[in-house]
């Protein structure tokens, strides 16, 4: 089942349960998918694009959560955190730090990278291979640490 169909079913469930936070979050995801569809007229939305949308939305909510927390606005921070958790349910299982390190070590050996100068090669392959399984910041930090 495509992400769009899954989101539509989740919206129906949230409406029946009268879960306002989940409903708002899911409608935002659906809106982003529809926006992407209208931009790519006639083209199908790929799974990678759907994952990228979800990751971007989670990152936006995490940034907002951090800002609201720093400003002492816990009421708004709680809403952002709840929405972030709802959206994360639709992302693939995230890699643990150990799993991420193992994957990046494999990529480093495949690309023949030897120093920090080869970070670009490693990041290019790692970003595509680990899309949706880990965020770019974690990938970058781990690759830098392993290459230094």
CATH code for the domain of 69: 1.10.1510.10
Q: What is the mean pLDDT of each run of 10 residues along the chain (148 residues)?
A: 85 93 93 85 77 89 95 93 92 84 87 83 84 81 85
pLDDT at position 142 is 87
Biggest CA–CA distance in the chain, Å, is 55
Geometric angle at alpha carbon 22, from 70 and 39, rounded to 5°: 90
Tell me the C-alpha distance between 136 and 126, whole Å: 9
Picking from 89, 109, 126, the residue at the C-terminal end of a domain is: 89
Q: Is 131 helix (H, G, I), strand (E, B) or coil?
A: strand
**What 8-state DSSP symbol labels residue 134?**
B
* 34/50 same-domain check: yes
Tell me the C-alpha distance between 142 and 134, whole Å: 11
* 142 and 100 Cβ atoms separated by less than 8 Å: yes
Tell me the CA distances in angstroms from 39 to 35, 44, 76, 111, one per residue in order.
6, 11, 31, 35
pLDDT at position 118 is 82
pLDDT at position 91 is 85
pLDDT at position 42 is 66
Picking from 47, 69, 89, the residue at the C-terminal end of a domain is: 89
Q: Report how many domains make up the chain.
A: 2
Tell me the C-alpha distance between 113 and 119, whole Å: 8
The whole domain housing 17 covers 3-89
* 83/101 same-domain check: no
Q: Please name which of 129, 141, 135, 123 lies closest in space to residue 55, comparing C-alpha atoms.
A: 135
What is the Rg, in whole angstroms, of the alpha carbon atoms belonging to the chain?
18
* 103/81 same-domain check: no
* 79/103 same-domain check: no
* 85/130 same-domain check: no
pLDDT at position 1 is 58
């Amino acid at each position: 089942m495509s992400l769009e169909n899954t989101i539509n079913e989740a919206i129906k469930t949230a409406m029946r349960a009268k879960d306002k936070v989940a409903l708002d979050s899911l409608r935002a995801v659906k809106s982003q998918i529809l926006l992407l569809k209208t931009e790519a007229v006639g083209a199908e939305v790929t799974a990678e694009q759907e994952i990228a949308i979800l990751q971007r939305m989670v990152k936006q909510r995490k940034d907002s959560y951090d800002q609201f927390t720093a400003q002492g606005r816990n009421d708004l921070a709680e809403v952002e955190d709840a929405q972030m958790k709802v959206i994360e349910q639709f992302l693939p299982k995230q890699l643990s730090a150990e799993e991420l390190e193992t994957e990046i070590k494999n990529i480093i050996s495949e690309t023949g990278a030897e120093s920090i100068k080869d970070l670009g090669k490693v990041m290019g392959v790692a970003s595509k291979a680990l899309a949706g399984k880990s965020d770019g910041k974690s990938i970058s930090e781990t690759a830098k640490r392993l290459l230094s």
